């Protein structure tokens, strides 16, 4: 069952630095969002990537950068099982691309770096072949070996 977004579309104003970045440098935020969706983390991210340049070029040639945001929003919805539809993604990206970029950035940060995320720095990364041994049993074994001698 799809889950709702943790960050509202108009919650883009907090923190203010994220809002300002999305307003002034939407192409950079969109490029980072695309990288996080495709790669699952910030590893290997470059500020000036192909998605960023493509967004800027589409905006310069008719204001159509929102199309790339709509594609990313759909990919994120499918990858993380979020609520929404293609029509809603289209309307959101077209009508309020700055708020959409900020919301997507915050949502990806929550999903990948927040509690339970799997993208590294704040999220839990499961370890392979870990076993918990009760300390009481572990401490008793050396004592038993000493008594046998």
Q: 82 — phi, psi (to 5°)?
A: -95, 155
Element (H, E) at 109: helix 97-113
Query: Considering the chain, what is the average pLDDT of its residues?
Result: 81
- Judged against a pLDDT cut of 70, whether residue 111 lies above it is answered with yes
- How much is the pLDDT for 141? 53
Length of the chain, in residues: 149
pLDDT tier at 123 (50, 70, 90 boundaries)?
very low
* pLDDT tens readout for residues 4-50: 888 888 877 777 888 888 888 888 999 999 999 998 888 888 888 89
- How much is the pLDDT for 122? 46
The pTM of the full predicted model, rounded to 2 decimals, is 0.71
- How much is the pLDDT for 66? 92
* Tally of CA atoms within 13 A in the half-sphere of 74 that contains its CB: 14
Enter the DSSP assignment of 104. Answer: H
**Cα–Cα distance measured from residue 3 to residue 110, given in angstroms and rounded to the nearest whole number:** 13
- Judged against a pLDDT cut of 60, whether residue 116 lies above it is answered with no
pLDDT tier at 120 (50, 70, 90 boundaries)?
very low
* pLDDT tens readout for residues 67-93: 999 999 999 999 999 998 999 899 989
- Judged against a pLDDT cut of 80, whether residue 137 lies above it is answered with no
- How much is the pLDDT for 142? 54
Tokens of 140: 């008793």
Query: By percentage, how much of the chain surpasses pLDDT 90?
Result: 34
The phi-psi region of residue 3 (left if phi > 0; otherwise alpha if psi is between -120 and 50; otherwise beta) is beta
Element (H, E) at 130: none
- How much is the pLDDT for 34? 92
* Closest C-alpha to 68, from 29, 17, 42: 29
What interhelical angle do 66-80 and 86-95 show, nearest 10? 140
Q: Other C-beta atoms within 10 Å of 30: how many?
A: 29
**Cα–Cα distance measured from residue 116 to residue 53, given in angstroms and rounded to the nearest whole number:** 32
């Amino acid at each position: 069952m799809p889950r709702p977004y943790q960050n509202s579309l108009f919650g883009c104003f907090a923190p203010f630095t994220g809002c300002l970045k999305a307003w002034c440098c939407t192409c950079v935020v969109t490029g980072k969002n695309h990288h996080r969706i495709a790669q699952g983390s910030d590893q290997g991210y470059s500020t000036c990537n192909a998605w960023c340049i493509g967004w800027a070029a589409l905006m310069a040639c008719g204001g159509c950068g929102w199309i790339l945001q709509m594609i990313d929003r759909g990919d994120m919805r499918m990858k993380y099982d979020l609520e929404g539809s293609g029509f809603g993604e289209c309307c959101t990206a077209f009508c309020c691309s700055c708020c959409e970029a900020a919301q997507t950035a915050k949502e990806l940060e929550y999903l990948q770096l927040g509690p339970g995320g799997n993208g590294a720095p704040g999220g839990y990364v499961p370890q392979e072949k870990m076993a918990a041994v009760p300390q009481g049993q572990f401490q008793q074994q050396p004592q038993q070996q000493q008594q046998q001698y």
